[in-house]
Amino acid sequence: MDDAIAAFRQFLTAEKRASEHTVRAYLHDLDDLRAHATQVLGRPPRIDELDVILCRSYLASLHGKNDAVTIGRKLSSLRAFFRLAVRRRLCKSSPVAALRGPKRAKRLPRFLGKEDTARLLDGGRAGEPGADPCTAAMETALFEIIYGAGLRVSEACRLDVGDLQLDGARALVHVRQGKGRKDRIVPLGQKARTAYDDYLMLRQARVTAATQGHALFLTTRGRRLGPREVRRMLARRELRSGAPQVSPHALRHSFATHLLGEGADLRAIQEMLGHASLRTTQRYAHVDVDHLMAVYDKAHPRARSRS
């Protein structure tokens, strides 16, 4: 089975070009299956011993300890692994091809309203008392760009200085190696452009010999900013501004929802978000309708429930 797992690792990195996080998660799921099979058989299993019954018992053991989303992801990992094993003739058929994961509760993306978004982005511009001016400027530019271009946190952290293309008042963000290792170009608004210009004037003080490439967002030590630092910065900014507590990804959801509410085309939003399927982007249509219905029920005199 070790040879099959090694082949799967190579397939994920070389052919699928999956991210390190995805590779690590998929291989961890396979280790879980192997550990379960070892416990059942009393010895490490061969790949041809991983039959439907053993795989089903493994998935059943996950219930109560994992939610439906996690179980579904683990099943997806096993499907991808066995598809490759069948193609490489390491086993005759996939034991998980006919297995179905648990039903997932349909959760709509969490987003901020326009007023809360403005409070978050504008209210924390001054930064913490006594904070480094470069840190305050970087924080503002970071969240303006995440919201202004609908970026994932990892995409924002991977930005280099050359990824922002400036042409007069216009600005474009070149997102390299996004989810699925796909590139895309997203326009950037004036406020994000202004925040970027302000930060760029102060950024040079952090550029050292140890600076990682041409990273746009740098820590005080000149290293590329990471997702954990972004989450901590957002949490502090929420406390200063009084905005609701959300994850950085909620700014991406807010970007899509606000564009849709202003009449933007769903296909255009799909392109800017980098979604492979329009079905993924359609979630924001449901979010916007639900938001409008909530406003309608609250404000319209004929929609209010009778006391």
Structure confidence by residue, pLDDT tens digits, 104-135: 766 767 888 889 999 999 876 665 666 788 88
Torsion on CA atoms 148, 152, 158, 160, rounded to nearest 10: -10
- Residue 284, pLDDT > 90, answer no
- Active-site annotation holder among 34, 36, 252, 258: 252
Is the CB of residue 80 less than 8 Å from the CB of residue 26? yes
pLDDT score for 156: 92
Annotated catalytic residue: which of 119, 184, 223, 249? 249
Indicate if the pLDDT at residue 302 is higher than 80.
no
Look at residue 48 and tell me whether its pLDDT is greater than 90: no
In tens, the pLDDT along 193-232 reads 999 999 988 888 777 655 555 888 988 888 889 999 999 9
Q: Which of 179, 184, 223, 231 is catalytic?
A: 179
Check 36, 152, 158, 203 and give the catalytic one.
152
Active site residue 284: yes
Asked whether 71 and 102 are in contact (CB, 8 A), the reply is: yes
Cross-strand pairs, 170: 167
- Tell me 48's DSSP state: G
**Phi, psi at 151, each rounded to 5°:** -85, 150
Query: How large a percentage of the chain has pLDDT more than 70?
Result: 91
Query: Which of 251, 238, 263, 235 has its CA nearest to residue 151?
Result: 251
pLDDT at position 139: 92
- The answer to whether 152 is a known catalytic residue is yes
176 among known catalytic residues: no
In this prediction, residue 100 has a pLDDT band, given cuts at 50, 70 and 90, of confident
Structural contact between residues 60 and 101, judged by C-beta atoms closer than 8 angstroms: no
Burial of 6 from C-beta contacts in 10 A (0-12 / 13-18 / 19+): exposed
Q: What is the mean pLDDT of the chain?
A: 85
Model pTM score: 0.71
Mean pLDDT of 82-91: 90
Q: What is the pLDDT of residue 180?
A: 65
Q: CA 9, 12, 13, 18: dihedral to nearest 10 degrees?
A: -140
Phi, psi of 63 (to 5 degrees): -65, 140
The alpha-carbon radius of gyration of the chain (Å, integer) is 23
pLDDT of residue 65: 86
| Beta-ladder partners of 165 | 172
> What's the confidence (pLDDT) of residue 103?
75
Q: What is the pLDDT of residues 54-81, one digit of tens each?
A: 999 999 998 888 888 888 889 999 999 9
- In this prediction, residue 24 carries a pLDDT of 92
- The pair of three-digit structure tokens given for residue 94, joined into one six-digit string: 């996939």
What pLDDT, on the 0 to 100 scale, is given for residue 214? 84
Say whether pLDDT at 3 is over 60: yes
Q: All domains of the chain, ordered by start, with CATH?
A: 2-87 (1.10.150), 114-298 (1.10.443.10)
> How much is the average pLDDT of 241-270?
88
* pLDDT of 33 above 90: yes
| E strand or H helix that includes residue 174 | strand 170-175
Q: Could you confirm whether 193 is annotated as catalytic?
A: no
Cβ count near 38 (within 10 Å): 12
